[in-house]
A and B are shown apart, each in its own frame.
Chain A
Amino acid sequence: MSGKRGLFFLPTLALWQREMTRFVRQRNRIIGALATPLLFWLLIGSGLGESFRGAEVEGGFMRYFFPGTVVLILLFTAIFSTVSVIEDRRDGFLQGVLVAPVSRASIVSGKCLGGMTLAAAQAALFCLAAPWAGLPVDGAVVMRLLVVLLLGGFALTALGFVIAWPLESTQGFHVMMNLVLIPLWLLSGAFFPARAGTWTEWAAALNPLAYVTAGVRRAFYGDGADLGLVPSFGAAMTVILLFASVMFLVALRVVRREGPESR
């Protein structure tokens, strides 16, 4: 008998590994999470670029929109990695995990670390194109990017987990995505900068995703650059860390409750 407590490390690793294997075996997920934002960037970036003027967007809209596209990739990959929670429940796979002597924290951690790895990797892949957008990349940029992508990826996967856990169908999930997450992204400073004294300032200050966008923007430009209302890298990371911790705890709470099949 291996004790009365739930196991943590080995199950977490196993759950993480399964996320990786499944992702690699579902090619369309790789394309979907990368191609959509890339297309957004190219079409919206070049189409809007002509009509977009302002002091904040020095270097053209393609350059302004680049960090926002990174965040969109992060968001898509992280959030959609948690759709598997709903699929696993539907297929009965999740029950097998729930009856195993696995600490509930391990179930949340495995999923969040898996989503984080996939999201950060996809976003990092896109960042390779940064020099073409007029954003030079050096060692410090890479370090800052790694921090914000990993932390942001973890926080967004945890958010997706909390949304996905009580749902019985993937349709509900897509409604959430379109109704809540896309607007949050649009208001995060990814698309247009928040302006002081307007409602967009508040929207950005209260929007957790705005700090992810700020983090990515600061990762490229550094804290020295004048980016208007965009907070410093350290401030953005502090907020994301806080957000990630809260989401993780909420996820843990929902897992400890009974799932939707008990109703």
Chain B
Amino acid sequence: MSAAVETVDLGRNFGPRAALSGLSLSIRAGEMFALLGPNGSGKTTLFRILSTLLAPGAGTARVGGCDVVGEAMAVRHQIGVVFQSPALDPQLTVEENLRWAGNLYGLRGGDLAVRARAAAEALGVYDRWSDRVQSLSGGLRRRVEIAKCLLPRPRVLLLDEPSTGLDPAARAGLRATLERVRRDAGVTVVMTTHLLEEAERCDRVAILHRGRLVACETPAELCGRSGTDLAVVSGPETEVLAARVREIFGWPLLVRGERLRVEVPAGGEAAGRLVSALGAAADSVTVGRPTLEDVFLDLTGEPLCGEEER
């Protein structure tokens, strides 16, 4: 079974800046895969290379076994691409947009009509069939866009930040749609995201940082890789707390604002030991499995997103 997407030593510069360098990864057919990273991590560059819009500067990328440069048309026959801003014509109706897109993929006549209607129904936009796209909300547009991309029955669906601009209900709906598409049609789903809750639900997550791949594993593996739990201690004087934890336990820790993040041995006894050691100096102590965000911070030394995005 060949990989749905495979890159070897992929690189791309913009002027003197390396947007992507030495990136090798392999995405299996039928996988739901997330490219996780903050803005500027290179995930959008990778997305554009995989969707044949941008040529790699170094290395190779293959989608469905075909090279994105030498066999670009063969790649285009196999991919459906959902952009951040929907590639729909706002002046045309939902029906016209779907038919039009079908034509670009060589679909026509009765077959196209049946497929367009089925896709619109599957994505719950059939009741807006005759409305111009400019009258639809962002969430509905995204659904029309996905319906459009599924018409030609792609083997690989590429999505760029699919949750951007969607409210929580629309996000949940999108998630369910992607799950169904993958289950029913065996489509490989590859999405870029800077949202942890989106990445956590994928089969595997590639973490990108400054154009490099820093990890590529399942969310569970990523979170459990250190074999430790994570304690978050908050208190008025974090420096004092940090000094005491170092002195008593010697556990690795990180001071983040009002909070102390301590890597503690897994097993559940750490909470009690911390509470008794710190006493009244700590306002609260919570111990849990590390989240993807913790892992991201560990791997890159930087938070995934700015405060305003959380």
> Residues on A close to B: CB < 8 A?
1-7, 10-11, 13-14, 17-18, 21-22, 25-26, 91-103, 258-259, 261-263
Interface pairs A-B: 3 shortest CB-CB: A96-B87, A14-B103, A92-B85
| Least CB distance, A101 to chain B, in whole angstroms | 4
Q: Which one of A7, A95, A103 lies within 8 Å of B81 (CB-CB)?
A: A95
Q: Which one of B14, B53, B74, B86 lies within 8 Å of A99 (CB-CB)?
A: B53
User: Which residue of chain B lies nearest to A24 when distances are taken between CB atoms in the complex?
Assistant: B91
| Least CB distance, A103 to chain B, in whole angstroms | 8
A4/B53 contact (C-beta < 8 A), A14-B103, A92-B83, A93-B89 known = no
Cβ of B104 under 8 Å from chain A: yes
Complex Cα spacing A261 to B45, Å: 11
Cβ of B101 under 8 Å from chain A: yes
A1/B83 contact (C-beta < 8 A), A7-B104, A10-B103, A18-B100 known = no
Q: Which of B51, B73, B148 has the most CB of A within 10 A?
A: B73
Beta-carbon contact of B92 and A101 below 8 Å: no
Q: Which one of B53, B55, B85, B92 lies within 8 Å of A98 (CB-CB)?
A: B53
A92/B106 contact (C-beta < 8 A), A1-B77, A99-B51, A99-B53 known = no
Complex Cα spacing A25 to B48, Å: 32
What are 28 A-B pairs at a CB distance below 8 A?
Answer: A4-B77, A7-B104, A7-B106, A10-B103, A14-B100, A14-B103, A14-B104, A17-B100, A18-B100, A21-B91, A22-B92, A92-B83, A92-B87, A93-B89, A95-B83, A96-B81, A96-B83, A96-B87, A97-B87, A98-B53, A99-B51, A100-B76, A100-B104, A101-B106, A258-B54, A261-B53, A262-B54, A263-B14
Taking CB atoms, residues of chain A closer than 8 Å to B101 are 96, 100
Complex Cα spacing A217 to B164, Å: 56
Q: Which one of B85, B92, B104 lies within 8 Å of A97 (CB-CB)?
A: B104
Complex Cα spacing A100 to B88, Å: 13
Taking CB atoms, residues of chain A closer than 8 Å to B92 are 18, 21-22
Q: Which of B51, B77, B85 has the most CB of A within 10 A?
A: B77
Taking CB atoms, residues of chain B closer than 8 Å to A1 are 77-78
Complex Cα spacing A21 to B133, Å: 14
Complex Cα spacing A2 to B90, Å: 29
Taking CB atoms, residues of chain B closer than 8 Å to A21 are 91-92, 96
Complex Cα spacing A2 to B79, Å: 13
Complex Cα spacing A93 to B81, Å: 12
Taking CB atoms, residues of chain A closer than 8 Å to B100 are 14, 17-18
Taking CB atoms, residues of chain B closer than 8 Å to A2 are 77, 105-106
- Residues of chain B from 192 to 216 with CB closer than 8 A to chain A in the complex: none
User: Which residue of chain B lies nearest to A259 when distances are taken between CB atoms in the complex?
Assistant: B53
- Residues of chain B from 26 to 41 with CB closer than 8 A to chain A in the complex: none
Taking CB atoms, residues of chain B closer than 8 Å to A103 are 73
Taking CB atoms, residues of chain A closer than 8 Å to B78 are 1
Beta-carbon contact of B105 and A7 below 8 Å: yes
Q: Which one of B73, B79, B85 lies within 8 Å of A5 (CB-CB)?
A: B73
| Least CB distance, B14 to chain A, in whole angstroms | 7
Beta-carbon contact of B86 and A11 below 8 Å: no
Taking CB atoms, residues of chain B closer than 8 Å to A263 are 14
| Least CB distance, B281 to chain A, in whole angstroms | 53
User: Which residue of chain B lies nearest to A17 when distances are taken between CB atoms in the complex?
Assistant: B100
A99/B52 contact (C-beta < 8 A), A4-B77, A93-B87 known = yes
Beta-carbon contact of A102 and B89 below 8 Å: no
A4/B74 contact (C-beta < 8 A), A10-B108, A18-B92 known = yes
Complex Cα spacing A99 to B78, Å: 10
Complex Cα spacing A92 to B89, Å: 9
Interface string of B49-82 (1 = CB under 8 A from A): 0011111000000000000000101101111010
